[in-house]
Amino acid sequence: MIEKSPRSRREVRFSGHPISPGIGIGPVFEAAEPVLTVPHRKIFAADIAAENARLDDAVSMSRKQLGKLKTQLAHLPEQSQAELSPLIDAYLQMLGNSRLMRRAKIQISDRLLAAETAMMEEAEALAAEIMAMPGADHAGRSRRADEVREIARRVVRNLTRLSFRSFTGHAPGSILAAETLRPSDAALIQPSHFAGVITEEGGADGHTAVMLRALGIPAVLGATGVLEAVKPGAIAIIDGETGEIVLNPTARSLSAARARLAARARTQRTLARLQLRPAETTDKVPISLQANLELPFELPMIAQSGAHGIGLMRSEFIFMNREILPDEDAQAEIYRTIVEAMDGDPVTIRVLDWGSDKDVEALNPYMPDTGEANPALGLRGIRLLLRNPELLETQLAAILRAAAAGPVRIMLPMVGFQSELLAAWDIYDRVWRRLKRRNLRLPDHRPPMGIMIETPAAALAARHLAKHADFFSIGTNDLTMYTLAADRGLPMGSKLYDPLEPTILRLILETAAAAAAAKIPVSLCGELASRPEAVPLLIGLGIRELSMHGNAIPRVKHAIRNVSLKQCTDMATAALNAVTADEVRKIIRGM
Ligand code: PEP
Ligand code: MG
């Protein structure tokens, strides 16, 4: 919070997490949450069957409501549907024969708890268990815990007939203000009815944030103190890009915000026109732009982004949020769907990169108990796969089968030593020969296998590794972390973790030069690829292929189309001579 003046009419400014870009201007509509209190109630043993039946009714009503919500999604933009539908599916799954439901029923019969008490207690216990799981993915665990609480609340509301939250009765174009918003609340929001969303609580990583981004509503979450200061109906301006909220704006602030709104609309129009234009510099050097895929629901968005293929498919998602690992057939089906959806454009599938902050519960039995104090510097990525070759073999077999449907490349994560790459080739050879013997439908030629360059060791040994890799892809997220010895989870803008440090640029140059000398393709798929201001510099360092979040492609393309190769190489030469990241920033801004 920058300044606070409780419920006055004076202009006051707040700041929160910028969630979904865009400027929203409108009257504030405060949506309060109906209170849900569940007393601890017991039943008689004779009522167990009746209580179970009550629970079953409430569950089936919840299923119906969610089913209806799913049909309502049809009115939302395609991208939003693709984001929301898997979440509703996850809720529906929890209403089936899930751990939560099984345990709630045991509480009813064994402890003689009323259905709503059993439901709430079990949800809390399960949420606490999820939060206590090992691993650094705190945000992921907290999301899953919230989902469990959320579905329990829905069932309890249906058991107790308490009302749900409603987002009606507001003036069109209002700014929705709430203490907190749950994903299911966000699913009820009609994007055309609201100019923006602000909340007191909520972070940048939660499902609510993902959904608001998908709905395309400007949003700022976690603006502490804003509700205390706002009067319903008062005008607010929110900037979803900077995270700033202005309450009771002066005429001057209003006209500045309107000017930014118009400028943004113009930029959006220009970017939309770029979709079918080539990504090339002003002197016609083509740059290949591909998309990173983390979850299958991103596929439609990637299709609309103008990406030419998938440069990094993080296969971790296939293994997350499930109790049983997907077998070869199940994996092959998922990869095939993605390859087919890309319709002839290449798909680079990275084999499982788990360990460290990428905590995958179902893989815990495969994690050797080495008591590592610092998993980021221990068993992770290829190191774990080589310890569990059966996992790698299954995944490679599934990918090879999917490769019959279109061009595929296989990528190994976290390579640091040549011996790891050679060991992976032995396994790959073996799997290929075995599949040939099984007479399965396979591609005519064995798909290329390349490596991520995301450790300083790999970047510095790129010349040697290039002899054994079919391609390189530079992962600047980890490369920055390991080179600078600074956690990638540090807050944005941290001085310690900065991929624009000249040391990182030198490693990118080294890798690009090694790939060029060995005549193998090299791309860059870390977050740096999605930063339009950094892209000319990357081109100057020798990168011609970039892979990024699909949403970033139009802006990156715009940056490429406004720069010449000479400008890019001049910028790179200057940046390589810089001593600090701030100097590099000045150089790239000076363009
Ligand atoms: C990277 O490290 O830059 C990368 C792309 O891999 P991930 O972010 O999945 O670790
Ligand atoms: Mg990485």
CA of 447 to the centre of ligand 2 (A): 22
CA of 65 to the centre of ligand 1 (A): 38
Which ligand neighbours the alpha carbon of 548 most closely? Answer: 1
Q: Looking at residue 355, what is its pLDDT? A: 82
Q: Is the pLDDT of residue 482 over 90?
A: yes
Catalytic residue list contains 558: no
Report the alpha-carbon distance of residue 357 to residue 142 in Å, rounded.
14
Q: Is the pLDDT of residue 6 over 50?
A: no
Which ligand neighbours the alpha carbon of 549 most closely? Answer: 1
Which ligand neighbours the alpha carbon of 358 most closely? Answer: 1
**Cβ atoms 291, 342 nearer than 8 A:** no
The answer to which of 114-123, 141-150, 292-301, 493-502 has the lowest mean pLDDT is 292-301
Q: Looking at residue 45, what is its pLDDT? A: 93
- Residues 207, 549, 558, 568: which is the catalytic one? 207
Q: Which atom of ligand 1 is nearest the CA belonging to 475?
A: 3
Q: Looking at residue 306, what is its pLDDT? A: 86
Q: Which atom of ligand 1 is nearest the CA belonging to 478?
A: 2
Q: Which of 205, 384, 214 is nearest to 300 (CA)?
A: 214
Q: Which atom of ligand 1 is nearest the CA belonging to 316?
A: 9
Quote the mean pLDDT of the chain.
88
Q: Which atom of ligand 1 is nearest the CA belonging to 350?
A: 9
Per-residue pLDDT reduced to its tens digit, 329-345: 999 999 999 999 999 99
More confident residue, 296 or 284: 284
In the chain, the percentage of residues whose pLDDT exceeds 70 is: 91
CA of 373 to the centre of ligand 2 (A): 20
More confident residue, 300 or 17: 17
Q: Which atom of ligand 1 is nearest the CA belonging to 479?
A: 2
Q: Looking at residue 297, what is its pLDDT? A: 63
- Residues 525, 549, 558, 568: which is the catalytic one? 525
Burial track 206-232 (b if 16+ CB lie within 10 A, e otherwise): bbbbbbbbbbbbbbbbbbebbbebbee
Torsion of CA 341, 324, 143, 170, to 10 degrees: 60
Partners of 175 in beta bridges? 28, 196
Residue among 477, 507, 528, 538 whose CB has most ligand 1 atoms within 8 A, to mutate: 477
Q: Looking at residue 104, what is its pLDDT? A: 94
More confident residue, 5 or 288: 288
CA of 349 to the centre of ligand 1 (A): 13
Residue among 313, 353, 414, 487 whose CB has most ligand 1 atoms within 8 A, to mutate: 353
Report the alpha-carbon distance of residue 422 to residue 418 in Å, rounded.
6
Catalytic residue list contains 170: no
Pair of tokens at residue 172: 């069109």
Q: Looking at residue 139, what is its pLDDT? A: 74
Q: Is residue 393 very low, low, confident or very high in pLDDT (cuts 50, 70, 90)?
A: very high
CA of 413 to the centre of ligand 2 (A): 7
Mean pLDDT within 415-433: 98
**Cβ atoms 2, 14 nearer than 8 A:** yes
Q: Looking at residue 3, what is its pLDDT? A: 40
The answer to which of 134-138, 290-294, 517-521 has the lowest mean pLDDT is 134-138
Pocket of ligand 1 (CB under 6 A): 312, 314, 353, 454, 475-478, 525-526
Per-residue pLDDT reduced to its tens digit, 537-555: 999 999 999 999 887 898 8
CA of 451 to the centre of ligand 2 (A): 11
Q: Looking at residue 5, what is its pLDDT? A: 43
The answer to which of 169-183, 236-250, 561-575 has the lowest mean pLDDT is 169-183
Shortest-distance Cα residue to atom 1 of ligand 1: 475
